[in-house]
Amino acid sequence: MHQGVTPQNTPRHALLTCIVLMLATTMVQGSLATTNTAYNLIDRCAATDDLVFDGQAANASVQWQVDLGPRLPGSEVSASFRETITNDLTALGYEVSQQTHQRYGMNLTNVFAKWSPNGTSTGQLVLSAHYDSRNIADQDDNESNRSLPVPGANDAASGVAILLELSKHIPSMGLNHDVILFFNDGEDQDQQYTLGAEAWAENLTEEEVASTHAFILLDMVGDADLQLHNVSPGNDTLKSRLVELATDLGMVNGTVACDGTGGEDIVQYETLVGVLDDHVHAHDLGIPSIDIMDTSYGEAKPYTFGSYWHTMEDTPDKVSAESLSAVGRLVELGLRTYAFVEFTEDDDAANDVPDETEPLNEAADDGPKGSKTLAAFAAVGLFSILMLILVVEWKGKR
């Protein structure tokens, strides 16, 4: 038997025990409170009634972009595209800016359109799509076409079209955070990829990284046969919320939508595909990121994203207003329900980055590394406990 506690010390230990229990309870309550985000409190089904995304307008934008011609870095067509969207976004009240970078002998120009709330902003959400079209149709079955620039209807114009349509409605959503529409350049040229997003990430300050809620990428999202797959790397919370939103909208097979209809087989997150895309640079910085993407464009073709990918067949007739509407409404619902902000867990998969832009073998998805908020509570709580122990013990010895 070990020596018991002396009577004079018993009250002090009892007090210390109570203090520890009170602090532990406070810490737990604090960590639980972080789950009460706006997203968890909003009636998502009611929010679906507010959706106004126009798939036909987005489809017309795809046609307009392709009609401009190849949007190659440094070209007059690229400059014309930027001038038009700059004028349109400025007219809507956005603060538009450009950044030019040199990469592999190319002049790349990123375009940013910022919408800020009237009150205090809680940070920024980045919605991105690349606007350049590929300079060579190297996957075309016809060898004579392989040196020609790709029309780029799905692979570029679709994501841009959705951002441009969303830009009309974001100002009236009453969001409490900034929204950055990031049109990036140089994603898909020769054997060089994601150059514009890479340059953007390299120029972010620590404060900008810390204030960025998430990075949402739209790439190849207009395929008439829409199948959105689980792209790795990516943030688990964003993926989980996206599937929930898709279920509400009737985009998940075997589920029931808010309107009571059965879900279509559009969001297929049981299919995991490793992709090097623009989102990996934000992901590497610890910014929660997700790539919303259809990795099967046309018939299945080994080691590619489908028979239309990087070919002269990437034309507007392969894109549909219905698909653009489905993805646009999905992102709009995410905006209106704050699904892309206020996280309780982060990703820790910086090493899970594919080194090819072609489809890769299935890889394990990213695991959570815990809540930063909970970690902060724990650190403060433990420090407080240690200080109280020292104070109580010191007073007891006096």
Burial 255-270 (b: 16+ CB within 10 A, else e): bebbeeeebbebbbbe
Question: CA–CA distance from 175 to each of 30, 123, 128, 167, 380 (Å)?
Answer: 25, 11, 18, 13, 31
Judging by DSSP bridges, how do beta strands 267-274 and 124-130 pair with one another?
A: unpaired
Element (H, E) at 212: strand 212-219
- Tell me the C-alpha distance between 32 and 354, whole Å: 35
Instruction: Dump pLDDT digits (tens) for 162-190.
Output: 999 999 999 999 999 999 999 999 999 99
Amino acid symbol at 365: D
From first to last of its 398 residues, the chain has per-residue pLDDT tens of 333 333 333 333 333 333 333 333 333 333 323 345 789 999 999 999 999 999 999 999 999 999 999 999 999 999 999 999 999 999 999 999 999 999 999 999 999 999 999 888 999 999 999 999 999 999 999 999 999 999 999 999 999 999 999 999 999 999 999 999 999 999 999 999 999 999 999 999 999 999 999 999 999 999 999 999 999 999 999 999 999 999 999 999 999 999 999 999 999 999 999 999 999 999 999 999 999 999 999 999 999 999 999 999 999 999 999 999 999 999 999 999 999 998 754 433 333 444 444 444 333 334 333 333 334 434 444 444 444 433 333 334 33
To 10 degrees, the CA torsion angle through 238, 199, 115, 134? -80
- Tell me the C-alpha distance between 157 and 188, whole Å: 13
Question: Which residues are CB-contacts of 47 (< 8 A; sequence separation ≥ 6)?
Answer: 333, 336, 337
**DSSP string for 136-148:** --TT-SSGGGTTS
Query: Residue 366 has what DSSP assignment?
Result: P
Q: Round the average pLDDT of the chain to a whole number and report it.
A: 84
Look at domain 55-370 and name its CATH class. alpha beta
| Beta carbons within 10 angstroms of residue 124's beta carbon | 19
Partners of 189 in the beta sheet?
192
Instruction: Dump pLDDT digits (tens) for 252-293.
Output: 999 999 999 999 999 999 999 999 999 999 999 999 999 999
User: How is residue 140 written in tokens?
Assistant: 């075309």
User: How is residue 47 written in tokens?
Assistant: 């929010």
Q: Which of 266, 316, 262, 315 is nearest to 292 (CA)?
A: 266
* Cis peptide upstream of residue 171 (ω within 30 degrees of 0): no
CA angle 220, 224, 229 (to 5 degrees): 50
User: How is residue 217 written in tokens?
Assistant: 């990428």
